Chains A and B, each alone.
Chain A
Amino acid sequence: MRWLVALTLALLLGTIAVTSVAGLVTDQAEPAGRALTPVITAAPVGSADSPALTAPALATPAAADPATTPTSTTTQPATSFAELTAHDSIDDCWLAIGGNAYDVTGYIQAHPGGSRTIIPWCDLEATVAFLTEDGRGEHSEEAEALLREYLIGPLSS
């Protein structure tokens, strides 16, 4: 079984090398202090520091892909927080980020960080958790762009 072990080690070391180098290069290419997109703010909804709610930034409809197809790509009336709290499971998960409501049900399984990092935030205010990757870092620009595809609409105050 030496050939199997050799092949395994080659695959493993190759993957580590490629992803590590790519991660290093990507990290060096990104400017420091990257500005957040306007739709996402740091202050949670309802806090004294929260800015006025902005109009939703609508994403261009994504290409037909069941996993990333957002539930809504049109302007929606403001969603109340009470309504948000009714969607609190892995099969029906809404959350609030930067004053907007997002339906991330179709994305939970595809989330690179795993479903368990999103599920606890279903039906909750998740701005800080999203911005800080729940205390582990910060999401990439690609992740922020992806989030916009799941926008429902603004949250009402």
Chain B
Amino acid sequence: MQITPGAVEAVTDDDHRSTERRPRGWTAPTGGPLWASVAVLLGVLLWLWASARPLGSRFVNRPATLGAISSLAALAGTVLLAMTIVLTARLRLVERGAGGLDRVYRFHHRLGAAAFALLALHPSLLAWRYAHVSWDRSAALWRPDPADLALAAGQVALYGMAVAIAATMWCSVRHQVLLWLQRALGVLFLPAAWHALHAGGDSAERGPLRWYLGAVVALGLAALVAHTFAGRLVSPHHRYEVRSVRALSPTITELWLRPLGRSMHFVPGQFAFVRFKDQPIGGEPHPYSIASAPGGELRFTVKHLGDYTAHIGEVTVGAEAVVEGPYGRFSNRFVAGRRQAWVAGGIGIAPFLSMAHALEDTGGYRVTLFYGHAGDGPASVLEELRALAAHRPDLEVVFVDEHADGLIDADLLGRHLGDLADVEFLLCGPPPMLHSLQRQLTNAGVAHHRIHFEEFGF
């Protein structure tokens, strides 16, 4: 069942046992609206470009054709670049449209790569166009010219993007450096936008095309400024204090935070960005699933996955933290059916801890939680889950030691659940596990809309 954004409706579960009001603003998890937005933006651009002058005049010979495609690539690349800036602003409207922030970020990666490809194609084709008349003129395209600021701006943007993107993709850098590279990519939008509006060509002539490009660029700039300088206005920020820091295992640290002011309201299964103030590990925000039930304190179980999280245990008790959120559309409460199978791989157990603790607040569920761990599942978490299952008739927990029992697969799920077709599956864990289980469940006859997951570690 799909609920339109902004609506609050009472729904019944499949067995008509109870009703519950669903959270506001939920949409079915799909990237459709994002793709539609891209299609509309590029479609309008193409139409305006084709209308700016007779198409025939653009393709009269090879140099003119190269110039025309180069121009179109530049304009399209600029539009997509502006859209990537908007996607990184963590706007709630965008998250709802995409069906979760993880999907927003994945879409952002794809769009960013496409934008860079188009923006790099632009000068490449232009160089080959110039080469028809003069190799020197062609080579001059890559050299800075003090008399041409627009050209210089374009060069700064292109070279800067190439270095930053290559570094993020192929260099092993510290997390802090990675964040700075990502920030640099956002800042490079400024010279790129300047070049687009002042370099001449199709966008130089006053008319609908120039106005359209200006509007798109302004939107990107607004998102950049809002995210950089007014993040608190774009997404809610909450002040918390670290109450405890505990090592659950050699590779997992648990943190409890208590609110210093208004506590953050969230739905079980959601996550938040957390940054610590005045701590040796740095003040950059990182996303973590919330592992506690809603109401008051926040609990995070953090696995040591990189150079930042490896030192999360050094955060001191009493340190102030800023929590931004909540984000995410992954929750048992966002799913229509009440007969549910929760499948957790490793640290993917975190959102299910929140959901399990909050089960008694809702009622009507029948849940089987499958927890797969490589023999290193924290003993305290295992005990916690056993205790929950012992006291909740609506929750059954199946522990799967992957070393001893192998990976969780559709056969194992079928043996415990019986008929899979009427079960709603919520999956959380490493991407290979998610993709494999999604394939297996689909092959086993589970409908696509009954498989829900959030990629951990986007």
> Can you list 8 A-B contacts with CB-CB less than 8 angstroms, sorted by A residue number?
A19-B135, A19-B139, A23-B135, A109-B60, A112-B133, A116-B200, A140-B134, A140-B137
Of all chain B residues, which has the CB nearest A16? B142
Contact B136 A140 (CB under 8 A): yes
Report the minimum CB–CB distance from B416 to chain A (whole Å): 38
Q: Contacts of B137 on A, CB cut-off 8 Å?
A: 23, 112-113, 140
Residue positions of B touching A, CB distance < 8 A: 53, 57-58, 60-61, 63-64, 67, 109-110, 112-114, 116-117, 120-121, 123-124, 127-142, 145, 147-148, 158, 162, 165-166, 169, 200-201, 204
Q: Which residues, 1 to 22 on A, are CB-close (under 8 Å) to B? A: 1-2, 4-5, 7-9, 11-12, 15-16, 19-20, 22
Residue positions of A touching B, CB distance < 8 A: 1-2, 4-5, 7-9, 11-12, 15-16, 19-20, 22-27, 65-68, 109-110, 112-117, 135-137, 139-140, 142-143, 146
Q: Contacts of A146 on B, CB cut-off 8 Å?
A: 133
Contact A135 B147 (CB under 8 A): yes
Q: Contacts of B134 on A, CB cut-off 8 Å?
A: 26, 112, 139-140, 142-143
Contact check: which of A4, A112, A143 meets B117 at CB < 8 Å? A4
3 closest residue pairs by CB, A with B: A23-B139, A1-B113, A67-B60
Contact check: which of A9, A22, A65, A68 meets B131 at CB < 8 Å? A22
- By secondary structure, the A interface counts as helix
User: What is the bound-complex CA distance between A71 and B347, given in angstroms?
Assistant: 74
Contact B141 A19 (CB under 8 A): yes
Contact A114 B61 (CB under 8 A): no
Q: Contacts of B132 on A, CB cut-off 8 Å?
A: 112
Contact B127 A15 (CB under 8 A): yes
Q: Contacts of A142 on B, CB cut-off 8 Å?
A: 133-134
User: What is the bound-complex CA distance between A71 and B139, given in angstroms?
Assistant: 31
Of all chain B residues, which has the CB nearest A117? B200
Contact B113 A140 (CB under 8 A): no
Report the minimum CB–CB distance from B428 to chain A (whole Å): 24
User: What is the bound-complex CA distance between A20 and B200, given in angstroms?
Assistant: 23
Of all chain A residues, which has the CB nearest B114? A4
Q: Contacts of B53 on A, CB cut-off 8 Å?
A: 109
